[in-house]
Amino acid sequence: MAEAENQEDEAFGITDRLVSEVMEAVDRNDGAFLTETLDTMHPADVAHLLEQIDTRERRALLTAWPGGLEGEVLSELDEELREEVIGQLNPGELADAVRDLESDDVVDLVEYLDDTQQEAVLDALDASDRVVVEQALSYPEESAGRHMQSELVRAPEHWTVGEAIDYMRSDVVLPDQFYHIILVDPRLKAIGYVTLGRVLSHPRDTPLRDITEDTFRTFHVEQDVEEVAQAINHYHMITAPVVDDDDRIVGVITIDDAMMFLEEEAEEDILRLAGVGEGSLSDRVIATTKRRFPWLAVNLVTAIFASLVISLFEETIAGLVALAVLMPIVASMGGNAGTQSLTVAVRALATRDLTTANVWRVIKREVLVGLINGLIFAVVMGIVGVVWFGSPMLGVVIAVAMVINMVVAGLAGTVIPVVLEKIGVDPALASGAFVTTVTDVVGFFAFLGLAAMWLL
C-alpha cells in the first residue's frame, strides 16, 4: 500500500497507469493479471476503477476477470452503475457477491433496484438476513431505520466488564465493526453505552453502568437519516443508537455511514444550487440532458420575463443605444451579489446556523453589505459611464441603478431561501431561479426606468 501512496503522492485512489494496465490485460484476456491485481485491491478502489471506464470496457472487464467482483464493490459503486453491473452478473455470481454483506449494505444496494433485480438479490440471502433487509425496507426512504446497521452488541445493564468480555469471546457472531456496547434494561430499552476503550481499561469486576458515556442520546427509527448524520457530526458521536416507539434498541448508525450521508447531502446542495440535480459523472448523455433540462427551462422563463421588462423600454433604447450596451452590467452585478447572499443563506439553513433567533440580524447584514459594495461599484461604474459615453447623467443613472439592485440582491438573497424553507421547499433547489429573476427584473427596470426619466 505504501507504494501506491508514493506513486503520485496521493493519499488514496488509483492511478491512470493502473487503469491502462488493467484494460490492456482485459484486451489480451490475461485472467491471471486481473485476479492478482483486482482481488488484492480495496473494493472502493475497484469500484472507482469501474466508474472511470465506459460501458463496453466494463462489460469486457467483468467477463475477463475470473474471480468476479465481491459484494462490497457493488456497494461502493455509483448508484447509476449498479443496475448495469448487476445486470451482467448471473444469479450464482450475484448470490456469491451479496451473501457476505452487512444488512445495511444490502439495503443500500437493493433499495433503488428494479423489482426483478431486487428479488434476485433477496433470493440470494439467508432467510434470517432476508427478514432483516425486508424489515429495513419497510421503513420510509431516507429514514434512520432504512439505513441503520442492525448488527450491534448489547448487554444487560447489570453486567460487569468481565461478563461482557466473556460474552464477546464466546461463539456469538459479532458485527464487523462496532465501537460501543449498548446497555439495555429487561425490556430491551436502551439506557446507555460504553466505549470499547473503557471496557478494555477497567478491571473485570467493574459494572458496565459505572463507565457509561454521559453524552448518550438515541434517535427514532423514522428520523431523517441526514439529521442523524448531522447530529453525529455535531456531537462527535461514533455510534448513534436507533430506537423504536417503545425506546427499544433496533440498530445503530455508525459514523462512517454518517460521513457518507453528509457528503451526499453537501454534494446534493452544491449540485442543486447549480441547477444540476442529482447524478454522477458516469451518467449517460440522455439521462444528463433530461436532468439539466428543467432548470434551463425555468431559466428560460425568467430570462423571457426579464426581456419583457426590457421591451417596455424599447423606445428609450432606440433613443440611446448605449443603454443596451450597459444594461447587462447592472443585471449581472445584482445576480452575482444575490447568488453570494443566497448561497450563504442556503448553507446556513442546512447547518442550522440560520434560525429565527438571528434571521433579522442576518438580513440586516446582507442588505448593508449590498449597500456598501453597491456604493463602491456605483462610483466605479459612474466613472466608466462618463468616460466611455461622455455623459455624466448616464453615469448617475447606472450608479443609482447599481446601488438599488445590489441592496435588493442582499435582501432577496436572504429572504427568498428563508421563506422557501418555511413553506417546505428545498431552498438549495429553488432559490437561484427566484433570486436571479428578481435581480434581472429590478436591474433592467431601475436602469432603463431611470434612463427614461432622467436622460430622454
Segment 378 to 397, residues that bind a copy of itself, using CB under 8 A? 380-381, 384
Q: Where are the beta strands (DSSP E) in 136-221?
A: 154-156, 180-184, 190-195, 219-220
Q: Taking Cα atoms as reference points, which of 139, 135, 79, 129 lies closest to residue 103?
A: 129
Segment 146 to 165, residues that bind a copy of itself, using CB under 8 A: 164-165
Segment 179 to 208, residues that bind a copy of itself, using CB under 8 A: 179, 195-197, 199-203
Exactly one of 292, 379, 426, 455 binds a copy of itself (CB under 8 A); which one?
292
Exactly one of 238, 379, 430, 455 binds a copy of itself (CB under 8 A); which one?
238
Exactly one of 52, 118, 135, 391 binds a copy of itself (CB under 8 A); which one?
52
Q: How far is CA 402 from CA 115, 137, 306, 372, 375, in A?
A: 56, 54, 16, 11, 8
Q: Taking Cα atoms as reference points, which of 275, 290, 289 lies closest to residue 431?
A: 275
Report in angstroms how near the CB of residue 64 gets to a copy of itself at its nearest: 18
How is 307-355 classified by DSSP, letter by letter? HHHHHTTHHHHHH-THHHHHHHHHHHHHHHHHHHHHHHHHHHHHTT-S-
Three-state DSSP state, 198: helix
Exactly one of 365, 379, 391, 425 binds a copy of itself (CB under 8 A); which one?
365
Cβ neighbors of 131 (< 8 A, separation 6 or more) are none
Report in angstroms how near the CB of residue 343 gets to a copy of itself at its nearest: 4
Based on the shown chain and the rule CB under 8 A, indicate whether residue 54 belongs to the binding site for a copy of itself: yes
Cβ neighbors of 267 (< 8 A, separation 6 or more) are none
> Which stretch, 24-32, 107-115, 282-290, 417-425, contacts a copy of itself (CB under 8 A)?
282-290
Count of residues of this chain found to bind a copy of itself when the rule CB under 8 A is applied: 135
Based on the shown chain and the rule CB under 8 A, indicate whether residue 425 belongs to the binding site for a copy of itself: no
Exactly one of 376, 383, 419, 456 binds a copy of itself (CB under 8 A); which one?
376
Report in angstroms how near the CB of residue 295 gets to a copy of itself at its nearest: 7
Residues 256/262/268/271 CA torsion (nearest 10 deg)? -90
CA distance 426 to 438: 19
Based on the shown chain and the rule CB under 8 A, indicate whether residue 343 belongs to the binding site for a copy of itself: yes
Based on the shown chain and the rule CB under 8 A, indicate whether residue 233 belongs to the binding site for a copy of itself: yes
> Which stretch, 91-99, 114-122, 128-136, 279-287, contacts a copy of itself (CB under 8 A)?
279-287
Segment 244 to 273, residues that bind a copy of itself, using CB under 8 A: 247, 255-256, 258-260, 262-263, 266-267, 269-271, 273
How is 423-445 classified by DSSP, letter by letter? TT--HHHHHHHHHHHHHHHHHHH
Are the C-beta atoms of residues 317 and 324 closer than 8 Å to each other? yes
Based on the shown chain and the rule CB under 8 A, indicate whether residue 16 belongs to the binding site for a copy of itself: yes
Report in angstroms how near the CB of residue 30 gets to a copy of itself at its nearest: 19
